[in-house]
Amino acid sequence: MKIDFANLQYQHELYRDEIEDALLKVARNCNFIMGNEIVELEENLKDFTGSSHAISCSSGTDALLLAMMALDIKPDDEIITTPFTFIATAETIAFLGAKPIFVDIDETTYNIDPTKIEKKITSKTKAIIPVSLYGQPADMDEIMNIAKKHNLKVIIDGAQSFGSTYKGKTDSFLGDISCTSFFPAKPLGCYGDGGAVFTNDDELAIKIKSLRVHGQTKRYYHKYIGMGGRLDTIQAGVLNVKLKYYAKDLALRQEVADKYNESLKNHQNIVLPFVKEDRTSAFAQYSIRVKNREALQEKLKQDGLPTAVHYPMPLHLQECFAYLGYKKGDFPLCEKVSQEIMSLPMNPYLNDDEIAYISSKLN
């Protein structure tokens, strides 16, 4: 049996006519930049998330940059985040000259441990960036309470969690600003790079929209130092089609995760994903923990089973962050999990036979 990790090919086949029509429509209208599809997408994203403002942009990375620029993050500001995430979370902080301050993770959810945040707050701290890792929101009430007490802003890195919920609200509705990515392999992916920024603050929304087009307020008049951060119309066309089916995709991802949980629960030496009761995961990844990861990955590869590691090297140990002065042992839980974590194939279309096959090969 040969199993596809994200199965984007199958998804294209499923919605092929509609998606190809949308692509052609943009080509024929030649409205490549900020066309009507963008306006439609932003309305659709607002409806889906409940956020007051949805601002599409060029990538998840640029969404984080736009969020921090909107909050006036400056060189020497400190921003608290997790070391167990994709590089973009902390890279964007450093790119603006600010300093990523890492806090260890919760060993069950792999998200930032809010009980360890307060002792890292200094007079330079400006914001907290929790990441909704693998699709599961972090402990948002605890994080928002700390932020309120110390007058900090909260930006959610929801690049993996579009459509997930926390106490009934979407991940995009929470925080001062919430960011997501439409990179093809994310739960809601477009056909290239894309992202979005969400906020319920009217003034921040106006500023983010301006920052997205070089800080302009009207054509060729620039109030801020901004960036070229627009989403292509063609990507909005694809997303408008895929968003119609996204609630179903999320339900299917949850079903696949439930089936994995059921079929792997009696396997010795495997730690299953844990999602807290008051929230849902978008299951961008289904990640388990095993002791003999590299050998197991090699064996599974022989069996036609692709696996991935998100992420093998914690950010505090990355070469690019050597100047921050962290060392091995600073975040023991993150370091331990990064040695053991392994993602199994995850997409809405995995069937019972495939899950049974994967389970048998993991035994």
Distances from the Cα of 316 to the Cα of 23, 313, 324, angstroms: 41, 8, 8
- Provide, rounded to whole angstroms, the least separation between the CB of residue 129 and ligand PLP: 9
Is residue 187 a contact point for ligand PLP (CB under 6 A)?
no
Please say whether the beta carbons of 182 and 195 come within 8 A: yes
Distances from the Cα of 217 to the Cα of 188, 203, 209, 221, 225, angstroms: 31, 13, 9, 6, 11
Please say whether the beta carbons of 335 and 313 come within 8 A: no
- CB nearer to ligand PLP: give 131 or 344: 131
Is residue 286 a contact point for ligand PLP (CB under 6 A)?
no
Is residue 85 a contact point for ligand PLP (CB under 6 A)?
yes
**Token pair listed for 275:** 């999602």
**Token pair listed for 89:** 């979370």
Alpha carbon distance 361, 133 (integer Å): 26
- Binding mask 32-61 toward ligand PLP (x if CB under 6 A, else -) reads ---------------------------xxx
Find the part of the chain contacting ligand PLP (CB under 6 A) among 120-128, 156-164, 169-177, 226-234. 156-164
Interface residue with ligand PLP among 114, 195, 237, 314 (CB under 6 A) is 195
Interface residue with ligand PLP among 22, 68, 103, 159 (CB under 6 A) is 159
- Binding mask 112-141 toward ligand PLP (x if CB under 6 A, else -) reads -------------------x----------
Interface residue with ligand PLP among 11, 56, 160, 178 (CB under 6 A) is 160
Please say whether the beta carbons of 305 and 355 come within 8 A: no
- CB nearer to ligand PLP: give 86 or 166: 86
* 3-class DSSP state of 197: strand
In which element (H, E) is residue 93 found? helix 88-95
Alpha carbon distance 137, 124 (integer Å): 26
Q: How many residues bind ligand PLP (CB under 6 A)?
A: 15
Is residue 235 a contact point for ligand PLP (CB under 6 A)?
no
Find the part of the chain contacting ligand PLP (CB under 6 A) among 21-29, 82-90, 164-172, 335-343. 82-90
Interface residue with ligand PLP among 106, 157, 171, 176 (CB under 6 A) is 157
Alpha carbon distance 24, 28 (integer Å): 6
Find the part of the chain contacting ligand PLP (CB under 6 A) among 71-79, 155-163, 167-175, 239-247. 155-163
Indicate the DSSP class of residue 70.
Answer: H
- Provide, rounded to whole angstroms, the least separation between the CB of residue 65 and ligand PLP: 10
The β-bridge relationship of strands 169-170 and 177-181 is unpaired
Is residue 86 a contact point for ligand PLP (CB under 6 A)?
yes
With CB atoms as reference, the residue minimizing the distance to ligand PLP is: 60
- Provide, rounded to whole angstroms, the least separation between the CB of residue 138 and ligand PLP: 12
Distances from the Cα of 174 to the Cα of 43, 62, 64, 85, 201, angstroms: 18, 19, 15, 19, 11
Q: Which residues sit at the interface with ligand PLP, rule CB under 6 A?
A: 59-61, 85-86, 88-89, 131, 157, 159-160, 181, 183, 193, 195
